[in-house]
Structure 1
Amino acid sequence: MFSLAQPLLIFTDLDGSLLDHDTYDHSPAIEWLARLKAADVPVILNTSKTAAEVLPLYHELGLDAPFVTENGGCVYLPESWVINEDVDVDGWARVVLGASRSRILTVLEAIRETESLRFRGFADMTHQEVMTLTGLDEPSARRACQREASEPLIWRDSETALDHFRLELIGAGLELTRGGRFHHVMGETCSKGRACGWLISRLEQRLGTSVSSIALGDGPNDVSMFDTVDAAVIIRGKHDQPIEVRDEARTYRTHEHGPHGWVEGLEHWISAS
C-alpha cells in the first residue's frame, strides 16, 4: 500500500482510463483528483493524445504537473519542474524523446510505395474521417491531427503483413505500438515507460529523495509504463487486446471500466488513512 503522505507520482492514460472510452467523461474521478491535489501528489497525464488535445483537458482537470504526449514522444514541463530547459511564452518547456512526425511520415510513405502495404494514417485522413473513427467533434479532431512525434494509423492488411511492417519500421529506427483504437508509429527510443522513468528521475532530483509511483491505463501501449513504476492498475478495457506485464504481483486488474476503474485502482493501492 501507498500513502498520500509519502512522495508519490501518479501516471495515467486518458481514453478508457481517466476518461470514459465512449463519452470522455471524467466525473467519477473528480473526488480523487481533488484528494491528490490537496496532498500535493502530481497526476501526470501519459497519453497518445497530442499537446493540443491535452492542454484543454489539463486545465479542465485542474492539474499543475508535467504531462506526456504521443505515447512518450514529448514531455511538457511546467516552470516548477524545469532545470535547464528553455521555457516558451506559455510557461512550458518541451522535451522531445522520440522522432519527429515529419521523419515518421517520410518513412511511412517510402514503405507504402516499396512494400504495397495497406494502412491509413491521420495524415491520409480528412478531419471528418478522424471524427468518425474517434467520436470527436471537429475542433477536437483538428487538435488530434496536430502531432509532433507520432502517427496513429488504421491497419488494413493481414497480420503477416503487419509483422513485416513492424520489421520495416525497426530497420528505419521506428517502432509500432498498439493503443485502444489505433496502431501508433514513433521513434524506437520512445515509450510511455521511458517518459515515466525520465520524470521519476527528475522529481527525485528536485526533492533529493526517492519517489514511489503508480500507473493506470487500459491498453497494450501502457505496458512499458506499467513495467516502469512501483504499482500498476490495468483498467478493464472495452477491447479484447491481451495486456501482459512483467510482474503481476504489483499489478491490479480492475472490474470496472474507465474512470470508475481508475478510482477502483487507486483505492486498491492507496491507504485510506
Structure 2
Amino acid sequence: MKTRAFAIFSDLDGTLLDHETYDWRPAAPCLARLRDAGVALVLASSKTAAEIAPLRAEMGFAHCPAIVENGAGVLPPGTERPGESRTHPRLRAALAALPPWFAGFSDWDPEEIARRTGLPPQAAGRAALRDFSEPGLYTGPEARRAEFLQSLARTGITAAQGGRFLTLSFGGSKAGRMAELAAQMPGPPRTIALGDAPNDAAMLRAADHAVIVPNPAHPGPGLAADGHRIRLAPAPGPKGWAAAVQALLAELTD
C-alpha cells in the first residue's frame, strides 16, 4: 500500500459492524494493516459522536475524523464531541409543529432504543445523545407518507432512509462531508467508500471506488455493481468488508 494514497470512508451498521451483533472484530486484521500503512479510515454513520468516539478509538483510528449523524456533523480527530453547534433542539421544535407521524429516539427511553436496535443498554444510552439529527420511524398512514416528507422539506428538514430508521436533520450528507474531509487531506487521496443502505448511495456514487456490502436485512443502496468502480463485497458485515478492502487495495497498489 502507498501511505496516504487512499482514504476509506465507511458506514458502520451492516457494513463494518455486523447487522445483528454490532461486532467489528472480524475486520481487525485488515484494520491493523490499514493503520500500519497509514491509510485513513473515516467512519461515516448515522450514529452519534458519543457512539462513534469509543468505536473509533477501539479500532485504532482516533487520529482520523469521523462523519456523525448521517453527515449532519463531523467529529474531529482525538475528540469525543463535535465542534459544531447543536441543531437537535431546533429539529425537535420543528417536528412538534408537524403531524405526529414520526417517533424518534428522543421519544423512547434507552430500554426502548435497545429493544428496537438490538444495542446493549449502555450503547443505547449513547445513541440517545443526539446533537444534529433524529432517527426514528414514520408512524402515520402509509398513504400520507409522501405528504409528510414534503412537510419536512418545507421546514428545511431532510430525511435519509438507513437500514433501520429514517433519519431527519437540517442537512449535511455523508457524500458532502466525504468531499470536505478528503479535500483537507494531503494529496488529496483517492476515496474508497463502503456502505449497505440507501443513505449510503450518494457517498458510494461520489467516491473514486465504492463497495456495496450486502445486507440480507434490507434491499441495499439501490446501486448496481459494475465490477470496476462499484463492487459488491463477497459477504455481509465485517468479514465481507475486510475481504473487499484487501482485494481492492491489492489491485489498486499492484
Is the structural similarity TM-score above 0.5?
yes
Q: Which runs of 5+ in 1 are unaligned?
A: 80-89
CA RMSD of aligned residues (A): 2.1
Normalising by the residue count of structure 2, what TM-score does the alignment of the two structures yield? 0.91
> 2:238 maps to what in 1?
259
> Is residue 106 from structure 1 mapped to residue 93 from structure 2 by the alignment?
yes
> 2:211 maps to what in 1?
233
Q: Is the 8 A contact 2:199 2:221 kept in 1?
A: no
> 2:130 maps to what in 1?
147
> 2:143 maps to what in 1?
160
Residue of 41, 44, 49 corresponding to 2:42: 44
Q: How many residues get paired?
A: 250
Q: Is the 8 A contact 1:78 1:93 kept in 2?
A: no
TM-aligned CA deviation for residue 247 of structure 1: 8.1
Query: Any residues of structure 2 matched to 1:68-147 within 5 Å, and which?
Result: 68-78=67-77, 94-95=83-84, 100-112=87-99, 117-147=100-130
> 1:24 maps to what in 2?
22
Q: Deviations over 1:28-85 (max 9, x none)?
A: 1111101110111110100100011111111111112111110001112227xxxxxx
Distance change (3 Å), C-alpha of 1:156 and 1:32 = same
> 2:183 maps to what in 1?
201
TM-aligned CA deviation for residue 5 of structure 1: 4.4
Q: Which has the higher strand share?
A: 1
Look up the SS of the partner of 1:237 in the other structure: coil
Normalising by the residue count of structure 1, what TM-score does the alignment of the two structures yield? 0.85
Q: Is the 8 A contact 1:68 1:75 kept in 2?
A: yes
Distance change (3 Å), C-alpha of 1:174 and 1:93 = closer
TM-aligned CA deviation for residue 91 of structure 1: 8.2
> Is residue 169 from structure 1 mapped to residue 152 from structure 2 by the alignment?
yes
> 1:192 maps to what in 2?
174
> 1:215 maps to what in 2?
193
The list of structure 1 runs, each at least 4 consecutive aligned residues, that deviate by more than 6 angstroms after superposition, is none
Q: Which runs of 5+ in 2 are unaligned?
A: none
TM-aligned CA deviation for residue 264 of structure 1: 2.4
